[in-house]
Amino acid sequence: MAESSVGVLGASSLVGACLLPLLTRSGWHVIAYSRQPVGHAGDGVAWKQLSLNHAKTVEEVTPYWICVAPIWVLPDYFALIETSGARRVVVLSSTSRFTKVGSGDTAEQATAAKLIDGEARLQAWAESRGIEWVILRPTLIYGIGRDKNISEIACFIRRFGFFPVLGEAKGLRQPIHAEDVAGACLAALQGSDVGSRSYNISGGETLTYREMVARIFTTLGRRPRVLTVPLWAFRLAVTTLRCLPRYRQWSAAMAERMNSDLVFDHADAVRDLDFKPRGFALAAEDLPA
């Protein structure tokens, strides 16, 4: 398509890293916003370090926006987007808004509440200003060794040589690669008749939690050692592991979900966004070095 400007919030994130080259290859001029130290300009990308102190300023007309930062921070930048002359905003949420509502972990409940509130605030703000919005809700995201799902399991396996599961760990999963999430963002940005809609986007393969873990072992070149442990042991282990910064977000509720199906239909995204996600084709480069 003809070159046009798109602002990307959360550009240094996992999905952002996959999205920026995809946008530039498609002819977009990208203004990449991040709270982290900015990257290098070039290749169609202009980096800007963003802070709340200048969240109401914009230097050029930017009719399109993609937010791959957590949706609950987006309202802090509504003024920035509005003054840029925005016409469409594509935003990442998560299917966790559905799966963590009834969690036994208060932190997970809070995450679900923030996702739900973020979606509602986006819709109210955008519709009051005549701006098209598109919400994408991915399932478990993995890829390029930077995710907090598959990569964390891989790190645990490397450190301890096994991975614990609760019961049969037969709950179904649909891991989605970050590149496929980025592709859905681009399709939502460029598509017609997709405005003011929400889409669940999931991976192209459905497999059990146990099989998902076994494939991580295989990609690491190790024989799967998946150990079944009781819930009380999980709770004890999580209490200990949370003393380490890497495992601070772990909870017993994560183990309890290993036997729950977290499956979402993406037929609407196939129809409207030509969404074609890959299967769980885990490669060495998708795991931390």
pLDDT for 214-224, tens place per residue? 999 999 999 99
- Residue 2 in this model has a pLDDT that exceeds 50: no
pTM given for the model: 0.93
**Which pLDDT belongs to residue 34?**
87
Structure-token match 């977290």, residue found: 262
CA atoms within 13 A on the CB side of 171: 18
pLDDT at 158: 96
| Cα 55 to Cα 153: distance, rounded to the nearest angstrom | 37
- Comparing 101-110, 116-125, 207-216, 245-254, which segment has the lowest mean pLDDT? 245-254
Q: Mean pLDDT over residues 110-136, rounded? A: 97
Strands 163-166, 141-142: pairing kind: unpaired
Q: What is the mean pLDDT of the segment spanning 87-102? A: 96
Q: How far apart are CA 220 and CA 48, in angstroms?
A: 37
Determine the pLDDT at residue 57: 60
What was the pLDDT predicted at 1?
39
From 46-60, 107-121, 144-158, the region with the lowest mean pLDDT: 46-60
Q: What are phi and psi of 207, to 5 degrees?
A: -145, 165
Rounded Cα distance, 269 and 85, in Å: 27
| CB contact at 8 A, 99 and 257 | yes
Terminal Cα-to-Cα distance of the chain (whole angstroms): 36
Least confident of 49-53, 139-143, 237-241: 49-53
Average pLDDT (207-212) is 98
Q: What average pLDDT does the chain have? A: 91
Pairing state between β 172-173 and 207-208: antiparallel
- Measured distance CA(144)–CA(157) in Å, rounded: 17
Residues 227-250 have a mean pLDDT of 81
Over range 37-56, report the average pLDDT: 71
For residue 289, pLDDT beyond 90: no
Return the domain boundaries, the chain: 5-147+176-205+263-284
- By DSSP bridging, strand 197-201 and strand 132-138 are parallel
Task: Check pLDDT > 70 for residue 231.
Answer: yes
What is the residue-wise DSSP string for the chain? Answer: ----EEEEETTTSHHHHHHHHHHHHTT-EEEEEESSPP---BTTEEEEE--GGGTT--SS---EEEE-S-GGGGGGGHHHHHHTT--EEEEE--THHHHSTT-SSHHHHHHHHHHHHHHHHHHHHHHHTT-EEEEEEESSEE-TT--SSHHHHHHHHHHHS-EEEETT---EE--EEHHHHHHHHHHHHH-SS-SSEEEEE--S--EEHHHHHHHHHHHTT----EEEE-HHHHHHHHHHHTTSGGGTT--HHHHHGGGS------HHHHHHH----------GGGS--
* Mean pLDDT (whole number) for 140-161: 95
CATH node for 5-147+176-205+263-284: 3.40.50.720
Give per-residue pLDDT as tens, 182-205.
999 999 999 998 989 999 999 999
